[in-house]
Amino acid sequence: MKKVLCISECCCDLIFGGLDGLPNLGEERYGTHFSMQAGGGANTAVLLQRCGVPTAYWTLLGDDDAGRIVRASLENSGLSLIRHEHTPCRTPVSAVLSAQGDRAFASFAQPCTLVEDYDALERAIRDADIVHTYLGYCASYPIAQLCERYGTLLSADTSFCDARTELFDTVLPHCDYWKGNEDEALRLSGKSSVSEALDAIASRVKAAAVITRGARGSIAKAHGEETIEQEAVAYGAFVDACGAGDAFAAGFLKGVCCGEPLSACLLGGAKLSGRVVTAFGGCPESIPVDDV
């Protein structure tokens, strides 16, 4: 089993579930569920570890109540947290309002530098077989260069803030795998259709590009190969979409770690995201992961 290093910021998610709608200004609504979990980029790392993949996690946590809650949650999951020097900051917090099959966020975060100790970053990447991070971090820190130096595979996800066309030529060619949703693929590639975006991104990466499509499943294309389609996998009633993309990434990467073909990696992503959407939060402890 290959070892994975996840590099991302994470936050303390305050999850309000079962709301019958989002409150208007001056209005209060009650839900049926509340929990506090590590969220954001931590979802993929936690789920990888729960799926039996040895996973280390580079993140930034403040010395505050939210940071202590998140740190305890991450350590309890079995993750190996990378110790590194960092600028003291307040831990990001997100209120996740889950209502009627979708969610909205109210978040707080202070600007912080995720990587200050470059020697520690180099050691962490050297010791990993696969690094999973976001495109924007690859533009800000020498993650891709270090992966190439040590022969470490690079998997890059996409967030709403780094789906920029300038990353298409500067970062994608250094990536082995890329994943994003349809909107992110269109913005990143500058194409007008999802199929064109997949073709363009797959031609840039070293191994394969993956586009998730919610209830319509996912599509992927290995460099120079034909497109593969995967239907969504359902495990019961849909509850909450929070973390579905992060879960897909974890299931997909488990297949990569096990040397599975691209089609099997897609199925693993579909299974884990299908599990996550049956419960509240991005990495709910209640979901089984044995069949991923």
Q: Which CATH superfamily does the domain covering 4-8+41-89+114-276 fall into?
A: Ribokinase (3.40.1190.20)
Mean pLDDT by 10 residues, the chain (292 residues): 94 93 94 92 95 95 90 91 80 91 88 91 97 94 97 91 74 96 93 96 97 96 94 92 93 97 97 94 86 83
Place of tokens 């209005």: 27
Detail the DSSP E strand segments found in the chain. 4-7, 10-19, 33-40, 55-58, 80-81, 93-99, 102-108, 130-134, 153-157, 177-181, 208-212, 218-222, 227-230
- pLDDT in the model for residue 120: 95
* 3-class SS shares of the chain: helix, strand, coil, % to 5: 35, 25, 40
Entry pTM = 0.94
Residue position matching structure tokens 């250094």: 174
For 4-16, b/e burial (b = at least 16 CB within 10 A) is bbbbbbbbbbbbb
Domain residue limits, the chain: 4-8+41-89+114-276
What pLDDT, on a 0 to 100 scale, did the predictor assign at position 162? 59
The pLDDT score that the predictor gives to residue 143 is: 98
Query: Is-contact 165 187, C-beta < 8 A?
Result: yes
